[in-house]
Amino acid sequence: MVNHDATQGLVLLHRKIGRWLQPGGHADGEGSLPGVALREATEETGIDSLEVWSQPVDIDVHLFVNRRHPEPDHLHFDVRFLVRAPRHAVTRGNHESEELKWIRYDELTEPELALDASTRRLARYGFDLARTLRHRSDE
């Protein structure tokens, strides 16, 4: 998720696994993956009137290791989308996160965030696409 001007991206401190991640969630049988991305981003951030880019910007398969609960390790298949917040968006979060934070592109490697390589890759793709789309709409 990026802010309206594509100068910042939103990450959340996930309560269940204790790591900074992008907003997201499970499709739970829903067939429209862009719709899932929009629903999950809205639920996890509390921001209304979000916009979703209909094409995936990244696909990732990774091992999910749950350090806080006895859930078995398993593979996650993430289809990731760009979501843009409206101007002057205010985050509210929900029970799934401890904190939400807007960060700039140059903060993706900050040690206190400890974003994994996959999350940093997604953020770079999202920032780049959002800036391209913003410049097109400015023309």
pLDDT digits (tens, 9 = 90+) for 104-134: 999 999 999 999 999 999 999 999 999 898 7
Q: Residue 4 domain-assigned?
A: no
136, pLDDT greater than 90: no
- Note the Cα 30 to chain centre separation in Å: 19
pLDDT tens digits, one per residue of 42-84: 999 999 999 999 999 999 998 877 766 777 888 888 999 999 9
Q: What is the pLDDT of residue 62?
A: 86
Is 104 buried (19+), middle (13-18) or exposed (0-12) by CB count in 10 A? exposed
Q: What sign does the dihedral 117-122-39-111 (CA atoms) show?
A: positive
Q: Residue 89 domain-assigned?
A: yes
User: pLDDT-based confidence at 17, cuts 50/70/90?
Assistant: confident
Q: Residue 72 domain-assigned?
A: yes
Q: What sign does the dihedral 47-116-28-59 (CA atoms) show?
A: positive
Q: What is the pLDDT of residue 138?
A: 57
Q: Residue 3 domain-assigned?
A: no
Q: What is the pLDDT of residue 137?
A: 63
Q: Residue 57 domain-assigned?
A: yes
Range of the domain at 27: 9-138
> How many domains does the structure of the chain reveal?
1
Cα–Cα dist 7/68, whole Å = 33
CATH (domain of 92): 3.90.79.10
User: pLDDT-based confidence at 4, cuts 50/70/90?
Assistant: very high
